[in-house]
Amino acid sequence: MIRMFNVTKRYGGHIALQGVTLEVETGEMVFVAGPSGAGKSTVIRLITAEEREFEGQILVGRQNLRRMPARLIPALRRSIGVVFQDFKLLPSRTVFQNVALRLEIDGVPSAVVGKKVRHVLKRVGLSGRENAFPLELSGGEQQRVAIARAIAGDPALVLADEPTGNLDLDLTMDILELLEEVNASGATVMMATHSRDILESRDHRVIRLEQGRVVS
């Protein structure tokens, strides 16, 4: 699903990733681990083509990101669900609208959108909260909305960048289980984290980064 060969990413003179080679199989769930500043988020931003400048090769699905023209970026991103530490929900829209937006972007017929949104909200345990606004929800609930939004379009790949960074341990485990369910239902999941607790509590494969290099 994801292959990086000898990828180097520089910000000006600063090297964020150096010679990173990694592979994530379709259907796999992996952690990308490492201390703050190791380059975890950079890996994710490269995969979503948010960062377009890099050395080396990146393959996502069948796309070679080095050769992919800019006009194909939207389609690439529609095939990926992304979850962030700070949720990135739209505060002026309800839970329902936040999730529906994902489907509207995908061009799902509006007649089907409502049904799909309710279904996916049920999956993440938020039935009945459709009309709440994000800021009326707890952090754990907001992250569930973000996950619902990420998986609403049934993406083949879900990227989570420290999704539990703002949550306490109980909620962290809930979110982790949710992502494992998403993985169990077929999606490839890559989750960045710097938390030892998480890594030790699960036995998914771990890609360790330190100062921009893969160390194990």
Partner 1 sequence: MSRFARWPVYYLKTALEGLRRNLALNLVAVLTIGLALMILGAFAFLHVNLERVVVSSTQALSFSIYLKDGLAPRDIEETRRKVSEIPGARSVTLVTKEQALADLRNRLGNQSGLLDGLDENPLPASLELILAPDLDRRRLPELTARLSALPGVDDVSFAWDWADKLKALVRFVNVGGLVMGGLLFLAIVFIIAGTIRLTVVARRDELYILRLMGATESFVRTPFILEGVFQGLLGGLLALSGLASGHLMLATQIQLPLGLSLIRLVFLPLSWSLGLVLVGGLLGFLGSFLSLSRRVGL
Q: Which residues, other chains included, contact 7 with Cβ-Cβ below 8 Å and sequence gap of 6+?
A: 17, 19, 20, 21, 46, 54, 55, 56, 57, 58
Cβ 156 to partner 1 shortest distance, Å? 13
Which option in ligand ADP, partner 1, Mg ion, none does residue 134 bind, with CB closer than 5 to 8 A by kind?
Answer: none
3-state secondary structure of 26: coil
40 to 79: interface string for ligand ADP, x by CB under 6 A: xxx-------------------------------------
Q: Which is nearer to partner 1, 52 or 205 (CB)?
A: 52
Please pick, from the candidates 6, 11, 25, 168, the single residue that binds ligand ADP as defined by CB under 6 A: 11
Which option in ligand ADP, partner 1, Mg ion, none does residue 56 bind, with CB closer than 5 to 8 A by kind?
Answer: none
CA distance 86 to 79: 21
Contact 84, 48 (CB under 8 A): no
Residues 73-112 that bind ligand ADP (CB under 6 A): none
Using the rule CB under 6 A, give the single segment among 31-39, 89-97, 124-132, 140-148 that binds ligand ADP.
31-39
Q: Which is nearer to ligand ADP, 16 or 126 (CB)?
A: 16
Instruction: Select the residue whose beta carbon is closest to Mg ion and give its number.
Output: 41
* Cα distances (angstroms) measured from residue 118 to each of 63, 100, 122, 132: 32, 9, 6, 13
Does 34 sit near ligand ADP (CB under 6 A)? yes
Strand partners of residue 207: 32
3-state secondary structure of 212: coil
Cβ 209 to ligand ADP shortest distance, Å? 7
Which option in ligand ADP, Mg ion, partner 1, none does residue 34 bind, with CB closer than 5 to 8 A by kind?
Answer: ligand ADP
Q: Which residues, other chains included, contact 89 with Cβ-Cβ below 8 Å and sequence gap of 6+?
A: 98, 134, 142, 145, 146, 149
Nearest Cα residue to 173 out of 164, 181, 182, 165: 164
The residues of the shown chain that bind ligand ADP, judged by CB under 6 A, are 11, 14, 16, 34, 36-42
